[in-house]
Structure 1
């Protein structure tokens, strides 16, 4: 994407270096950015998410929403929200499963947080019967209780990286090096204040990551949940506890790619620090459940039983496909361990299904 590269060069000519957060924001969400211009999903794209692997994933989440809505007292009107809804596959599957409760479907108003016009078009086709409304952020959601789903959304939010040097923490920045981009070190910015106790034992060369954008999102959502009620479910990849390490990466055509090469042509992500987000939610006055592994979450909600029921009615080839899909979602060496589930709720519930 020449437009993105030129935008980066102009900024670097003025600023000298960009934090990794600023680099990610420009490449992913800036004018002509990766998430504004591409349909990155599927075999022909750069990555595949759980809803594209199996319709059972979305169906399970739809039933979780119905159960959580019931635990919240079955509000007569609420906002069903998805952040980063992709092609609308997850929500389509979720709403199909939610037909077990006509009252749930009658009470919901569907909202999609999306900035990609091509994906909006696909969402509109899949979800036309539910009259979705689109938003660029949560800020424009109307008042009222919320049930929110976000699958692989947090991992794309910008991060800052700090590296331990002989003179203490320095911030990793992106600079121009000839016709290419490279990493360099600079004086740390204010995001350094977000380092956690787990980062303090860093030795020379180790890297700590923080995401002010993710913390701000959780804080804002938590305050809304506390004031107006509802619950949110986040599914993403990363550790359950804060720690050190460089997780900034790029994916292009399902292969790892240099994150500084071909800006705008590859997906940029980083692992989610679930512990920091759960703490931010609690500090804002809501309840945080988890994180638990995706494998444990889906097992407890009956994914294996659902797979066996479908496989029993299918031909041998389809049954094997279903079992492979199930394994990919829950096996520890697939998505089951790396992916975590975190739920937030403004109500003092004793428990939520699966967590």
Structure 2
């Protein structure tokens, strides 16, 4: 028997070490090159708002195949070459297989196992669908007390537990409360770092804008939903991000939090639809239609536009960052 967060961490480590996650799901950078381009320009404007420090660390957590950062760097070099010259590229990735893919697209990058290992200095950090894969704990109200979910023989088991640490959503009898301790620790540590050394962190992920009770643990295997506890290491396990809790913890460390705002609104404010329309005009009809379809998938409410959110943590002296005004 093991606690759910230990089970999830072990299962995802095995999954990302041995399998191609992009056979099971498609992330925003793989849907449209414009996604990485507008995030690169977001980073460039943020760098200018920071006073254009040179050097500056540009880091990505969970860079996948390196697609987002390759698209971002191309846009940065074209639009703000001074930022391209000043940035030092760092990637947070634990999978040797994914590191090899990233190395082919991002020469000169430096890799780290943890965000905490990034070197000191002004920082711009991007994390797209990074937080949702961090391991969660699940608690349930049981009468006047609490229980916590553990995993035994492919099924949930319960053990008596103390109440989950705040901030967390209110819960009624039998409701699940999810706590992601690594994400909470990251928000607090990043908040302190950004106050002391300057910079901003942008997270784009899925979950509600306000903290909500409920079981959001899910698995994808071979591109389809699967039982989360079955065959650990063969499916991608994720859960909703508690953006409100992360913002609260970053503010408690002295940082500012901007958002969360829905992804569709965020990308519209960054000009992604206009960028894609310009790209589409240079393409044959079939390719243009695919580009426009990708934009709809990223921005429309019934697709990714509402469930996915953008949250920025930053030094409190920074103004409203692009997409959050």
* Contact 2:131 2:183 survives alignment (8 Å): yes
In the alignment, the residues of structure 1 paired with residue 16 and residue 246 of structure 2 have an alpha-carbon distance, to the nearest angstrom, of 23
- CA-CA distance at 1:167 after TM superposition: 4.8
- Is it true that 1:298 corresponds to 2:267 in the alignment? yes
* Contact 2:130 2:205 survives alignment (8 Å): yes
- Is it true that 1:75 corresponds to 2:53 in the alignment? yes
- CA-CA distance at 1:39 after TM superposition: 2.3
Question: TM-score, normalization: structure 1?
Answer: 0.89
In the alignment, the residues of structure 1 paired with residue 37 and residue 261 of structure 2 have an alpha-carbon distance, to the nearest angstrom, of 19
Name the stretch that deviates more: 160-169 or 71-80.
Answer: 160-169
- CA-CA distance at 1:140 after TM superposition: 2.0
Gaps of 5+ in 2: none
Match of 2:172 among 171, 184, 203: 203
Aligned to 1:21: 5
Gaps of 5+ in 1: 1-16
- CA-CA distance at 1:77 after TM superposition: 0.6
Paired residues in the alignment total 323
Match of 1:95 among 43, 55, 73: 73
Aligned to 1:4: none
Aligned to 2:84: 105
- Is it true that 1:230 corresponds to 2:199 in the alignment? yes
Matches within 5 A, 1:1-355: 17-29=1-13, 33-41=14-22, 45-99=23-77, 100-128=79-107, 131-176=108-153, 181-189=154-162, 192-194=164-166, 196=168, 198-199=169-170, 202-355=171-324
Aligned to 1:5: none
SS in 2 for 1:233: strand
Deviations 1:274-299 (A, max 9, x none): 00000000001000000000000000
Question: TM-score, normalization: structure 2?
Answer: 0.97
- CA-CA distance at 1:347 after TM superposition: 4.1
In the alignment, the residues of structure 1 paired with residue 144 and residue 53 of structure 2 have an alpha-carbon distance, to the nearest angstrom, of 56
Deviations 1:257-288 (A, max 9, x none): 10111100000000000000000000010000
* Contact 2:167 2:245 survives alignment (8 Å): no
In the alignment, the residues of structure 2 paired with residue 300 and residue 85 of structure 1 have an alpha-carbon distance, to the nearest angstrom, of 24
- After superposition, the CA RMSD in angstroms is 1.2
In the alignment, the residues of structure 1 paired with residue 152 and residue 61 of structure 2 have an alpha-carbon distance, to the nearest angstrom, of 32
SS in 2 for 1:150: strand
In the alignment, the residues of structure 1 paired with residue 288 and residue 196 of structure 2 have an alpha-carbon distance, to the nearest angstrom, of 46
In the alignment, the residues of structure 1 paired with residue 172 and residue 249 of structure 2 have an alpha-carbon distance, to the nearest angstrom, of 27
In the alignment, the residues of structure 2 paired with residue 325 and residue 340 of structure 1 have an alpha-carbon distance, to the nearest angstrom, of 17
Deviations 1:311-353 (A, max 9, x none): 2222221221111000000000000000000001114123111
* Contact 2:228 2:237 survives alignment (8 Å): yes
* Contact 1:83 1:150 survives alignment (8 Å): yes
SS in 1 for 2:211: coil
- CA-CA distance at 1:354 after TM superposition: 0.3
In the alignment, the residues of structure 1 paired with residue 93 and residue 19 of structure 2 have an alpha-carbon distance, to the nearest angstrom, of 12
SS in 1 for 2:302: coil
In the alignment, the residues of structure 2 paired with residue 62 and residue 68 of structure 1 have an alpha-carbon distance, to the nearest angstrom, of 10
Cα 1:193/1:306, change in 2 over 3 Å? same
- CA-CA distance at 1:36 after TM superposition: 2.3
In the alignment, the residues of structure 1 paired with residue 11 and residue 241 of structure 2 have an alpha-carbon distance, to the nearest angstrom, of 19
